[in-house]
Amino acid sequence: MVLDTCEHVVNAAAHFSDVIIAASTDVRILCTSRQPLRAKHEKLVWLLPLEVPPADWALSPEQLLAYPAAKLLVERASQAGDFRLEAGDVSSIATICRVLDGLPLALELAAPLLSTRTPADVLAGIHDRFAADTPLSREVPARQRTLLATLEWSYALLTETEAALLRICSVFVGQFEANALLQLAAYHKLDPADVFDALAGLRSKSMLSIERSAHELRYRLLDSTRAASGRPAGPTARAEQTNAYSYLPVLTPMLHNLL
């Protein structure tokens, strides 16, 4: 049995699964969700975005298609029209995959554009990654027809503190540390305990990734999530200003040493 997109009915899906499993030993249930159901016999498998081609390698078409993100994009583009991958398209296709974070939905949305435009033209048009949001079939739920709609749907499922922290996180490009986040959160009068609770919530809802090293944890938003979270200009603009001020104590002595 498959239950798809359960994040908006987590409690109901968990209860349904528990009842079915308790009533039969022959049933297995596969649930997809942006957050755990916390059902009794749940086993979690975290799915990462599709692997994308590296930025600094020159690839042949065959090598490009070894990366799942590029393979999906090319396959869907071929199905949508008469697109054929040529050697001159490799760099643009690889970059499109990276810009879209290897997200399957984003790649599905971008693929039809390749039936009427060259990969270079598609790439030039997605500096704003949501420009590739060509709606999918009306048979698909509204929240899944565009990448932005999916992200906005996920955002609406956050608690008030999680949503506030996600907007703060969006000012960071790439990885960031807890201390830097706490400085910005303090500006918005968020208690450190609430910050770490909200971080755990964002992680459990697949809105934020955690990368572990030997001595520290580092956090990161996918670029698509960051772009969508940063769209509300007011709070994010203030957070960006605070983030800049937080670097002044570090940069000022360095500047004086240079003069």
Give residue 254's pLDDT.
46
- When the candidates are 1.10.10.10, 1.10.3720.10, 3.90.550.10, 1.25.40.10, the CATH number that belongs to 157-258 is 1.10.10.10
**For the ranges 10-24, 53-67, 80-94, 150-164, which has the lowest average pLDDT?**
150-164
Tell me which residue of 207, 210, 178 sits closest to 33, measured CA to CA.
Answer: 207
Give residue 240's pLDDT.
53
Give residue 17's pLDDT.
95
Give residue 243's pLDDT.
54
Q: Taking the model in full, what pTM does it have?
A: 0.70
Cα gap 122→128, rounded to integer Å: 11
pLDDT at 132 over 60: no
Cα gap 38→17, rounded to integer Å: 10
Among residues of the chain, what percentage have pLDDT more than 90? 39
Q: At what angle do helices 160-169 and 192-204 cross, to 10 degrees?
A: 90
Residue range 22-47: mean pLDDT, rounded: 91
Give residue 171's pLDDT.
85
Q: Domain limits of the chain?
A: 1-45, 61-141, 157-258
